[in-house]
Structure formats: C-alpha cells, structure tokens
Amino acid sequence: MDVKRVQGDPLVAGTAIPAEPVGGYTAAERRARIRAIIVASSGNLVEWFDFYVYAFCAVYFAPVFFPRSDPTAQLLNTAGVFAAGFLMRPVGGWLFGRLADRRGRRTSLRVSVTLMCAGSLTIALLPGHATLGAWAPALLLLARLLQGLSVGGQYGTTATYMSEVALRGHRGFFSSFQYVTLIGGQLLAVLVVVLLQQFLDEAAIKAWGWRIPFIIGAITALAALRLQRQLHETSSEQVRSNPVAGSVAELFRRHRAAFLTVLGYTAGGSLIFYTFTTYMQKYLVNTVGMSIRTASTVMTCCLFLSMCMQPLFGALSDRIGRRGNMLLFGALGALCTVPILTALQGVSSPLLAGVLITFALAIVSLYTSVGAVVKAEMFPAEVRALGVGTAYALGNALFGGSAEYVALGLKSLGHESVFFWYVTGMMGVAFLVSLRIPPQASYLHHDH
C-alpha cells in the first residue's frame, strides 16, 4: 500500500486529517469510509428520533407535568418550549462546534448523543407534578434543554464528519444521508407513537404508555454510542492543537464572508423546509380544510418520499457542483413557492395535495441533500465544525424555528398570502448568497 495513502487517510491513520489518498482508495478504505458514514448516520437518526418523540407525545404527558391549576407550571411550559427550540440550538452549535474543532469530531458526536440519551431517560423516568410539585416541570425543562443543546450541536459536527469522511467525487451523495436520517428520525417517532396507539387505549397512554418511546430513545442512544466507538477521527492532532482551533474570533476575523454566506442560505433553506414539513400539516387542516388524520397521512407519505430523494439530489450535486444545486434551489424556490401554496388552498384531493407538496419538497431537497457538504466546504478544518454548527443554528432558530409562528400570526391578521411572499423573498436571498459559493474551490479539497 502506498505510504502516502496510509499517512493521509483518516481511516487508516486515526489521527490524520482528511487528505485525498494518492492513487485512489483501496477496497478496504472504501468499505471503512462507508461504514463510518453509516455509524455517524445512526447517531444522527437517534438524535432526531428522540427530539421529535417529545413533540408527538406532548399531548399525552402535558397534563402530568403542567396541570392547569398551577400557573407556575404553565409558565415553565412556555419557557421550556422557547428555550429548547430557540436558545439552546445556537448555544449547542457553538459549544459542540468548538469541542469538535479542539477535541475532535468523534468526541463531539459522542458527547452529543450522551446528552440526548440523558435527556430522554430523564423524561422517561421523571415523576409527575402530583409527586414532585413544581420540581416536575422544572426537571422536564432541564431535560428538554439538554435535548435542545444536543440537537443544536449534532448538526454541525455530523455535517463536518460526514463531509470529511465521504469518498472523493461522491461527497454530495454520502453527505445527503444526514437529512435521510433527520427525516427518518421524525418518521420513526411517528411510527412508534402510531404503534403505541394500536396496542394501548388513550387512558393507558396518558397514564404510563407515553414513557415507552422515551425509553426506546434512550436505549437506541446507548446502542449508537457503542457503535460510535468504532469511528475514526477525521481531524489531525496538528489541527486540533492549532491555537485558533474552535476560535470564534478567528472565525469572524478571517472567515466572516463564508459565515454570512452559510447563514444566508441556511435562513432560506430552514424557512422553506419547515414551511413544507412541520407547518404544512397545520396548513392542510386550517387553510385547506382536511381532517387531521388525512393531513397526517399525506404528510407522512410526502416525508417518506422526501427522505428517498435526498441521495438522488446529493448525487446530482456531484455531477453539477454544489453551487449548481444551490442556485437551482434558490431560483425554483423563489418561482414556485407562491404558486404551490396558492394552489393548495383550493385543493380537495389528498392525492393532488400530496403531489404538490412532494414537488415542493423536491425543490427543498436540492438544498437539504447537500446542506452538510456545501457548508463544510466553506471553512478550513480548524474552524469547520464551529462555522457550520453556529451558522446553521442561528439561521435555523431565527427563520426556520419561527416559520410556524409567522405563518399563523399573518393568517390570524387576514394576510396569509404575505407569508407566501416572505418565503419567496428568502428564497431570493438564498439564490443571491449562493452566487458566492466557489464553483469548484473547496477547503475540503485542500486539507493536508
């Protein structure tokens, strides 16, 4: 085997940085890199399963922790949703990005999954308000903060790791599995709750059954941790010991333009993603007039198709370039958002609604499939996880996380169509900032 390859490949020399192997990959290197993608994806799947289970089970356990007779508990409920959904994601992006750049991607991934496991296990075993009083919602809030911190840090580290370990020439394809597992985690959470509803009546679920998905989440997190022991590190000791590794000052001093570029297309990408995923179910019920059951079925099918599309659009980026994907995303998003949302208002057929939403999600997939690698390619190794994680978390919190509130707020004022144009405007921003993406140059291509 070529000596240069052994020294440069991170899966042969565990402390090496992601240099391109000389003369191509051996069969063993190829298998090792694919295995690393699968293991990293499994951790991402567990993270998002645990995160979404909370949302799907909240209707059952809310009375256990937030009785209406206790106004303090109600306030804690509101504060918990805000803190976990908005505050902790940027904090997690910064904290775990810094950890990944200074201590290694593998370490950051394992700590993130450990926190998610701790949060899920705490919720699963936590006594209710009747036993602990106000301590019950306070501890639930703490567990949710841990989950918010964890999922906020998971994106940047996973995006960085999967981009660095992916095979040259196929980075778009392999990096797309980050969103395959993100959407897969959401679908698995739905499936577990549906199965729970089939085997237990509503009274049993409210009494104790809602704890089962959290126990499953904690157990699968432990399994992911065991698998992640096999992961090789993709950053070198030289990079990790660099005085500017994980430095916010370095990030904004030398890579401000890259940070703002990533923030710009993440803002638009997150907004349209949440518009056609989490908000769309409410849109189908409140605006289109579908039943909750029908809307849930339509969205489950659409999300499954979206998950399947990710590798296809990731592979497309390997042929036309990440810049090509992003420009198509911005342009099609700007041109098609208003027509699609307007057409959905008059749709009576669930099938036609599903076709329109799937088409919208295909446009979104031009971005989500390459989200990991297009961000990672903008930053050098010493601030890569920090730059990716922080820019994503800020854009996601400010624009993606607020999508539902803005949409419902404008609808309540009688100006629902203004939201359509708001999304369209952000797609225009995504297109413009995507023009700043280098056509071919990439930090990942020059790591040594």
Q: d(Cα 79, Cα 147) in Å, to the nearest integer?
A: 15
Residue 251 tokens read as 């990030």
Task: Enumerate the H helices of 166-255 as residue ranges.
Answer: 171-175, 177-199, 202-204, 211-228, 237-240, 248-254
- Examine the domain organization and report whether 192 and 304 are in the same domain: no
- Can you say how many angstroms the Cα of residue 303 is from the centroid of all Cα atoms in its chain? 14
User: Do residues 124 and 211 make contact, with C-beta atoms less than 8 angstroms apart?
Assistant: yes
Residue 206 is assigned to a structural domain of this protein: yes
Q: d(Cα 211, Cα 54) in Å, to the nearest integer?
A: 10
Residue 276 has what pLDDT? Answer: 94
The HSE-up count of residue 186 (CA atoms within 13 Å, CB side) is 18
Task: Enumerate the H helices of 25-134 as residue ranges.
Answer: 27-65, 71-82, 88-103, 105-125, 129-132
Look up the domain containing 428 and give its range: 256-378+402-438
Q: How is 269-293 classified by DSSP, letter by letter?
A: HHHHHHHTTHHHHHHIIIII---HH
Residues of the chain with pLDDT under 50: 1-19, 448
Q: Where a domain ends, among 216, 249, 282?
A: 249
- Examine the domain organization and report whether 349 and 214 are in the same domain: no
- Examine the domain organization and report whether 130 and 269 are in the same domain: no
Q: d(Cα 345, Cα 338) in Å, to the nearest integer?
A: 11
Q: d(Cα 233, Cα 381) in Å, to the nearest integer?
A: 12
Q: Where a domain ends, among 249, 264, 298?
A: 249
Model confidence pLDDT, tens digit, residues 31-63: 888 888 888 888 889 888 988 888 788 778 888
